[in-house]
Structure 1
Amino acid sequence: MLAEKVRKLFAAPHYGVVATVQPDGTPQTSLVWVRADDEAVYFSTLKDRRKYTNLERDPHVSILVEADGDYVEVRGRAELTEQGGRELIDSLSVEYTGAPFRAETPDKVRVVVRVVPDKILTVGAKPGTVERLR
Structure 2
Amino acid sequence: MAGVSRERLAALLDSPVFAAVATIQPDGRPQQSVVWIRRDGEDLLFMIGVGSRKERNLRRDPRVSVLVSPPDEPYTYAAISGVATFEPERSVELRDELAVKYVGVTYPEHVARTPEAARGLGPITAVRVTPHRIAGRL
TM-score, length-normalised on structure 2? 0.81
Q: Take 1:71 and 1:16, find their aligned partners in 2: how far apart are those partners?
A: 10
* Identical-residue share of aligned pairs (%): 38
Q: Take 1:37 and 1:17, find their aligned partners in 2: how far apart are those partners?
A: 18
Q: Which SS does the other structure have where 1:83 is aligned?
A: helix
Deviation of residue 11 (structure 1)? Answer: 2.3
**Matched residue count:** 122
Contact 1:34 1:41 in 2 (8 A): yes
In the alignment, which residue of structure 1 is the partner of 2:135?
121
Structure 2 portions without partners, runs of 5+:
112-116
**Pair 1:100-2:103 in alignment:** no
Contact 1:82 1:109 in 2 (8 A): no
Q: Which SS does the other structure have where 1:84 is aligned?
A: helix
Q: Which SS does the other structure have where 2:69 is aligned?
A: strand
More helix by share: 2
Q: Take 2:53 and 2:118, find their aligned partners in 1: how far apart are those partners?
A: 17
Q: Take 2:77 and 2:39, find their aligned partners in 1: how far apart are those partners?
A: 14
Counterpart residue identity of residue 118, structure 2 = E
More strand by share: 1
Contact 1:15 1:31 in 2 (8 A): yes
Q: Which SS does the other structure have where 1:85 is aligned?
A: helix
**4+ aligned runs moved over 4 Å, structure 1:** none
Q: Which SS does the other structure have where 2:35 is aligned?
A: strand
Q: Which SS does the other structure have where 2:133 is aligned?
A: strand
Q: Take 2:81 and 2:9, find their aligned partners in 1: how far apart are those partners?
A: 13
Q: Which SS does the other structure have where 1:42 is aligned?
A: strand
Question: Cα RMSD over matched residues?
Answer: 1.9
